[in-house]
Every structure is written in C-alpha cells, then in structure tokens.
Amino acid sequence: MELIRVRSERRDDLEAINTIHEMSFPTTVEAQIVNQLRQSGHLSVSLVAELTGTVVGHIAFSPVNTVHGDVGAGLGPLAVWDPYRRQGVGAQLVNEGLAACTRTGFGWAVVLGEPNYYSRFGFRSGKAFGLHDEFGGGDAFQVIELVAGALPSGAGRVQYSPEFYDAK
C-alpha cells in the first residue's frame, strides 16, 4: 500500500469525514457526534488519514472529565474507509492522535472500544484504575496515561462531552 499521510482535518475534508463515519457504522450517530463536537468547539484533536489526496480515515478526540474536574481526552469515533481497513490505517491514526493529544496538553485518554485492539496502544481497563464510564462499557472502557502521573486513579466516573448524549 502507498504511504498514508496523517494530518489535521481541513475544512475541505468535512464531507469526506462525514461519509467515512456514515459508511463505517450502522447509523449516522457517529458522524453526527463529530459534526456536533466541531460546531461546539469540543473537537480537540481531529486527524485524517490521506492516501494520494483522498481521505480514507478519521479519528476524533474530545475532552472528558471526572467528577473531581480532572480533564483528559476521549478517543472516538475512529473510522476507516472499508477498502483500507486491516492495513494499519487505524493504528496510524490512533498513534498519531495520542501523540497530538499529548502535544495539546492532555495527560491521559480514554476509549470505549474493543480491548484486544486498543490494548496494543497501551490502553488498559478503566476498572483497574478506579474509573468507569456512564455508558456501561465495562471492559470496553479503557484508559491510557500519556504523561507520567497524570491519570486520575480512583476518580470514579468519567464523563464525555455533551454531544455524545445528544446525538441520536
């Protein structure tokens, strides 16, 4: 496969981003969440994977917080255009997205996703750190410390941006 370039989203990427999310999930909810996060200013990190000028993947990060006011980054949604799945595009987006979150000032991040997939990036069970989500994600709710000592261990519930609750 040709070289994938990961970069920050641009205005002219928005239609492609929307289409990739709509094609990657059973409903349009994820695409709506990304659009609402962008409109509200809560899309902290938004990266696209580009191949020869075509956007083939997207990852979003938005603020999450604990009841104690600790702020981290929430990964999601992540989507890759079907012909480019299982070729490392998603992994490249996750790795570069986590690095961008660190540069942006986030010390920790969470994800609600497949543990077997996200554990290879260093994500671990939120329960092991006394953290849980409001969606009942159980083992799918995972955390990663991006800056040593930043993870708010034992802080309880982690709340996502309101856009995750408003999208239908």
Q: What is the pLDDT of residues 56-70, one digit of tens each?
A: 999 999 999 999 999
Backbone torsion region of residue 130, taken as left when φ is above 0, otherwise alpha when ψ lies between -120 and 50, otherwise beta: left
Q: What are phi and psi of 155, to 5 degrees?
A: -85, -5
CA angle 158, 162, 164 (to 5 degrees): 80
- The dihedral built from the CA positions of residue 134, 168, 72 and 119, taken in this order, carries a sign that is positive
Q: pTM, whole model, 2 decimals?
A: 0.95
**Other beta carbons less than 10 A from residue 121's beta carbon:** 16
CA–CA dist 124, 39 (Å, integer): 31
| pLDDT recorded at residue 2 | 67
Give the domain ranges of the chain: 5-166
The CATH number of the structural domain formed by 5-166 is 3.40.630.30
Q: How would residue 168 be classed by pLDDT, with cut points 50, 70 and 90?
A: low
CA distance 97 to 63: 13
- Per-residue pLDDT of 100-145, as tens digits, reads 999 999 999 999 999 999 999 999 999 999 999 999 999 999 999 9
pLDDT for residue 140: 97
CB 13, CB 31: distance < 8 Å: no
**Distance (Å, whole) CA 10 – CA 114:** 29
